[in-house]
Amino acid sequence: MTTKIKYTFKDFQSDQEVRWCPGCDDYVILRSLQKALPLMNRPKEKFVFVSGIGCSSRFPYYMDNYGIHGIHGRAAAIATGVRLANPDLSVFVITGDGDSLAIGGNHFIHALRRDINLNIILFNNEIYGLTKGQFSPTSKIGQKTKTSPYGNTQPPFNPGELAIGADARFFARVAGNDAKGQTEIYVQAHAFKGTALVEVLQNCVIFNDGAYKFWTDKNVRDEHTLFVEHGKPMIFGKNRDKGLILDGLQLKTVTIGQNGITEDDILVHDAHNPDPVLHMMLVRLKNPLVLGVIRAVEEKTLEEREIELTEQVKARSRIKSFDDIVS
């Protein structure tokens, strides 16, 4: 089916002026995805970008592909229809923490449960950007926003944890300012058969600047984050001398070379393990914060189940046309 075409990121730029605030991570995400698309090896008319409402959800306008700028929270549901209707399309859901975890929470968990082949890019800035700064379901307790002038009282979701609880088969996390990491991960998400969720830690310079500083600032990010890769030991740190080991049911950071620890003692990342327990531990970790593809467990997707069942029914049915029903 797939025609091989050589694209560059420019082929995915629309003629619309990009209208985010100067300095917003959204620009990085846009460019990273535009750079990832040529690596996916699909004709551009096969890509569909579906979004909800929010700063992030303006995304489809900036892509030169098919797209729907939907209504608030419903992108996953609309995209499910697109994909069920035509499993030959590569469907991206572009959404924010408000769009997907507040109003759209239901469609979000159901998409993950069903394991339909969507690529959900969740711009998590821990704030409502477009409506100018109210707390979101990922805002921290105590966070002061326009609707929590004395501090937020609602404990946040951890999107990765929620996703795994909803039986997500693919979860990745990446920093909003990490262009290269994003491009890699988008390619992997697209290649994954099933619902792929990518949480992007996106800095909103206007309403929640610095929310991820602890993890994304150049000076500290190597010490405070761990970028996992399947089959590789979980090592991090500027000097790549830190790693994770399992201590009972807890992950522990150790230093290679200290207390007799060698690289061989470090846990090797297995993104493909169907059992989500270790993945759950990884998504919960705060220091280091785990980035990269944390979970990627391919199963039969919803579309595949649908197609298989339909083929079975067709094979044994005498009904080939409406006329056969009434005859």
Ligand X SMILES: Cc1ncc(C[n+]2csc(CCOP(=O)(O)OP(=O)(O)O)c2C)c(N)n1
- In the range 129-158, which residues lie near a copy of itself by CB under 8 A? 137, 141, 150-151, 153-158
Is the previous residue joined to 288 through a cis bond, with omega within 30 degrees of 0? Answer: yes
326 binds another protein (CB under 8 A): yes
- Residue 218 beta carbon to ligand X: minimum distance, rounded to whole angstroms: 24
- Residue 127 beta carbon to another protein: minimum distance, rounded to whole angstroms: 11
51 binds ligand X (CB under 6 A): no
276 interacts with, out of a copy of itself, another protein, ligand SF4, none, CB within 5 to 8 A per kind: a copy of itself
20 binds ligand SF4 (CB under 6 A): yes
- Among residues 252, 251, 224, the alpha carbon closest in space to that of 238 is found at 224
Nearer to ligand X, 117 or 136 (CB): 136
Helices (H), the chain: 26-36, 75-85, 97, 105-114, 159-165, 179-191, 213-216, 221-224, 277-284, 302-316, 322-326
Site for another protein in 12-31 (CB under 8 A): 14, 16-17, 19-22
Nearer to ligand X, 32 or 136 (CB): 136
Can you name the residues that pair with 173 across neighbouring β-strands? 199, 292
Interface segment toward another protein; rule CB under 8 A; list 78-86, 172-180, 236-244, 261-269? 78-86
Which of 31, 49, 56, 226 contacts another protein by CB under 8 A?
49
Q: What angle do CA 205, 14, 29 make, to 5 degrees?
A: 35
Which of 238, 277, 286, 287 contacts a copy of itself by CB under 8 A?
277
289 binds a copy of itself (CB under 8 A): no
Tell me the C-alpha to C-alpha distance, in Å, between residue 136 and each of 28, 37, 250: 22, 30, 29
Instruction: Number of residues interacting with ligand SF4: please give it, by CB under 6 A.
Output: 11
Which of 13, 41, 69, 304 contacts another protein by CB under 8 A?
69
Distance CA 36, CA 112 (A): 23
Residues 6 or more apart whose Cβ sits within 8 Å of residue 131: none
Nearer to ligand SF4, 117 or 125 (CB): 125
| Residues 195 and 114 sit within 8 Å (Cβ to Cβ) | yes
Instruction: Number of residues interacting with ligand X: please give it, by CB under 6 A.
Output: 17
250-255 β-sheet, strand order: 235-236, 242-247, 250-255
Looking at residue 163, its amino acid is A
| Residues 99 and 57 sit within 8 Å (Cβ to Cβ) | yes
Site for another protein in 148-207 (CB under 8 A): 148-150, 154, 206
52 binds a copy of itself (CB under 8 A): no
Using CB under 6 A as the criterion, what x/- string covers residues 111-130 for binding ligand SF4? --------------x---x-
Distance CA 245, CA 243 (A): 7
45 interacts with, out of ligand SF4, ligand X, a copy of itself, none, CB within 5 to 8 A per kind: none
- Among residues 174, 102, 94, 99, the alpha carbon closest in space to that of 130 is found at 99
Half-sphere exposure of 301 (CA within 13 A, CB side): 21
Interface segment toward ligand X; rule CB under 6 A; list 4-12, 47-55, 167-175, 245-253? 47-55
Site for ligand SF4 in 193-222 (CB under 6 A): 204-207
246 binds a copy of itself (CB under 8 A): yes
Distance CA 172, CA 183 (A): 12
305 binds a copy of itself (CB under 8 A): yes
